[in-house]
Structure 1
Amino acid sequence: MSMSKIFDLTLIYATIRSATPILFAALCCTITQQADILNIGTEGIMLTSAFVAVLTSVMTGSWLIAILMAIVSGVVMALIMAVANIKYSANICAIGMAINMFALAITKFGIKRFLGTSGTYSGSDIIGIPRIHIAAFDNNIFLNEVLNNWCVTEVFGIIMVVVMWFLLFRTAWGLRVRCVGRFPMAAETAGINVRRLKYQVMIISGVMGGLAGAHLSLGYSKMFAENITNGRGFMGIAAMNFGAQNPILVWVGTLIFGCIDYIGARLQSYGIPSQFILMLPYIFTITVLVLAMWKKSASEARKKSAL
């Protein structure tokens, strides 16, 4: 197998396809981190929303209603975290881990109770998210391979990158969010309702997490399996750190994850052990998180030395 078969036109779309679930997860983390809330529960929000999306799709026969219900599920989970952290001052990391464990348990119960199976459900009654086919692109190899047959949520994900960037860096609301994240006492003194703003941020985070789960189960795979997220929520956190909480740079980070995922799958044809291939995204995740912590520590050390 030649390297040209790995780095071909399909790499571009395959990268975007693999990156989209991580992108929504990363946006879920980015908006909260700007308000100084580390959303460790992204994985659990995604997992619960993925199950709700499949269940709703089977019950109603509508992918659109399924997405809406997944968003509702994500918002509910995010609000549970928000109330526990903002109102009752519970540790956000502990809450996030609790949400993740709860999601694993409730979806494992749900797939058996409501879908009548264990492990994986991929019935033909799942109505997936449609793909956009542009007939005019059929006769052009590049346009057909790269831009044709995109899932609706893949297009929406890229739109949300721009929307999130504009919201955070070009609006008064975004300025207040960033002020709350960096100088909460000063923000409160300036008359900003810090608690209300954090609730708003968590609601938006829940919407992104809901979209992440819905896309994963109805757009990316058209199935539900126990722990279908498979660490993508944590990859989203890594991408958020890679992009320094800037949605556009965060998107670049998710594309790197997507590219690694696709190339890893192709490398199996070279006889490389599958266990090593499966490790690649997580090795990159750990590397990014370690570098982010090192950068943060170095920055804090410089600030102390300046004083």
Structure 2
Amino acid sequence: MNGFWSVIFSAGFVATIIRVTTPIIFASMACLIAKKAGVRNITIEGTMLVSALAGVVASAYLKNVWLAVLIGMLAGVGIGLFLGYFHIIMDTDIWLTGIAINLIANGGTVFAMFAITGDKGSTASLASLTVPNINIPIIKDIPILGEILSGHSFFTYLAFISVIIMYVLLYKTPLGLRIRAVGEYSMAAESVGENSNRIKLIALALSGMFASFGGMFMSMSYASRFVRDMMAGRGFIGIAAESMGGGHPFGAAFAAAIFGVADALANVLQSFSIPSELLLMIPYLATIVGLVLYSIRRQEAEKKRIQKMRQSNTVKEG
């Protein structure tokens, strides 16, 4: 037990939390921007899978990691636009379309991997590249702090920066205003000349881009290869984090960090005599508990709002 607590309160554990939170933050930002435009993008998991494989394969053949990242990003954007075409242009059901894309991505990545490598499990036979880690000058030499903050993947720093970027984009730019206007009441936005379909497509393209970063982190930083089903539900956990965060970038990032703690805790407990099946459940149990608590909090807030409205109406009538 002493060994457990020494690990929990170590700098390495905090660094692990930061690392495993990365893909969840990207997934939550991807869900957030689409939701702000009035589109529920549930294809985050599938987008992450496709981009993860695209990045690995591109890096193996092109031998340029940044060009591979660009290709992986374009794959994510393409899926976002693909969803947008069927839902917005063809008027298909968003949930059925999203489920179909996730299923296609799940099976399609395995098929593509087998076609390229002859292996249905991983791309271990490919000499793929990884995105470099970044050692922050000065901070890397500071005891404890350097171990926590320095030496992470480029994608990890990008994930936390993306939270600020998302906030600025949504609340400080004309595009963000248009996205929120279309999401809240598209007919009102169209009445002043906005093309709501175009704004939704832009939001879905950006959503696919953020999701692609999360996928490529998993295959080009967290691991050095693509592995079948390697997202392990992180895309869906990101959707839950966005909901728990109340539709705000900082709230979603905080919720993602909570899930990151659960994921890191599961990793730590692997060294103890605890059934692996139970450990695999921890992140998903945390998701369920988090959503229940969020639902309770939202219901309480709604009750208070209704009560306040009733009191206000009573005062006016009196």
TM-score bracket for this pair, using the shorter chain length: over 0.9
- Of 75, 97, 100 in structure 2, the residue corresponding to residue 98 of structure 1 is 100
Query: Is the counterpart of residue 223 in structure 1 residue 225 in structure 2?
Result: yes
My pick for the range that moved more, 172-181 or 43-52, is 172-181
- Of 57, 60, 70 in structure 2, the residue corresponding to residue 58 of structure 1 is 60
Which amino acid is 1:11 matched to? F
Q: Distance in 2 between matches of 1:238 and 1:49?
A: 21
Q: Distance in 2 between matches of 1:190 and 1:90?
A: 26
Q: Distance in 1 between matches of 2:305 and 2:272?
A: 49
Which amino acid is 1:252 matched to? F
- Of 29, 36, 47 in structure 2, the residue corresponding to residue 27 of structure 1 is 29
Query: Is the counterpart of residue 15 in structure 1 residue 10 in structure 2?
Result: no
Deviations 1:267-306 (A, max 9, x none): 2333222211111111122233344455566677788886
Which amino acid is 1:284 matched to? A
CA contact (8 A) 2:13 2:264 kept: yes
Aligned to 1:183: 185
CA contact (8 A) 2:38 2:182 kept: yes
CA contact (8 A) 1:41 1:100 kept: yes
Written as runs of structure 1 = structure 2, the 5 A alignment for 1:220-259 is: 220-259=222-261
My pick for the range that moved more, 212-221 or 289-298, is 289-298
Written as runs of structure 1 = structure 2, the 5 A alignment for 1:110-121 is: 110-121=112-123
My pick for the range that moved more, 153-162 or 291-300, is 291-300
How far has the Cα of 1:256 moved from its partner? 1.1
Q: TM-score, normalized by length of structure 2? A: 0.90
Distance change >3 Å, CA 93–CA 301, structure 1 → 2: farther
How far has the Cα of 1:141 moved from its partner? 1.8
CA contact (8 A) 1:132 1:151 kept: yes
Unaligned runs of 5+ in 1: none
Q: Distance in 2 between matches of 1:214 and 1:167?
A: 23
- DSSP 3-state at the match of 1:120: coil
- DSSP 3-state at the match of 2:220: helix
Q: Distance in 1 between matches of 2:84 and 2:148?
A: 40
Written as runs of structure 1 = structure 2, the 5 A alignment for 1:279-298 is: 279-293=281-295
Q: Distance in 1 between matches of 2:270 and 2:83?
A: 40
Compute the RMSD of aligned alpha carbons.
2.1
CA contact (8 A) 2:140 2:151 kept: no
My pick for the range that moved more, 76-85 or 267-276, is 267-276
Q: Distance in 1 between matches of 2:195 and 2:222?
A: 39
Which amino acid is 1:280 matched to? I
Aligned to 1:109: 111
Q: Distance in 2 between matches of 1:287 and 1:60?
A: 44
Written as runs of structure 1 = structure 2, the 5 A alignment for 1:114-153 is: 114-123=116-125, 125-134=127-136, 136-137=138-139, 139-153=141-155
Which amino acid is 1:36 matched to? G
Aligned to 1:45: 47
Distance change >3 Å, CA 65–CA 272, structure 1 → 2: same
- DSSP 3-state at the match of 1:228: coil
Distance change >3 Å, CA 200–CA 263, structure 1 → 2: same
Query: Is the counterpart of residue 270 in structure 1 residue 272 in structure 2?
Result: yes
Distance change >3 Å, CA 151–CA 295, structure 1 → 2: same
Q: Distance in 2 between matches of 1:107 and 1:26?
A: 22
Q: Distance in 1 between matches of 2:217 and 2:188?
A: 39
Distance change >3 Å, CA 37–CA 296, structure 1 → 2: farther
Which amino acid is 2:14 matched to? I
Unaligned runs of 5+ in 2: 311-318
Q: TM-score, normalized by length of structure 1? A: 0.93
Sequence identity percentage:
33
Q: Distance in 2 between matches of 1:73 and 1:279?
A: 30
Larger radius of gyration: 2
Which amino acid is 2:72 matched to? A
How far has the Cα of 1:198 moved from its partner? 0.4
Count of aligned residue pairs for this structure pair = 307
CA contact (8 A) 1:123 1:223 kept: no
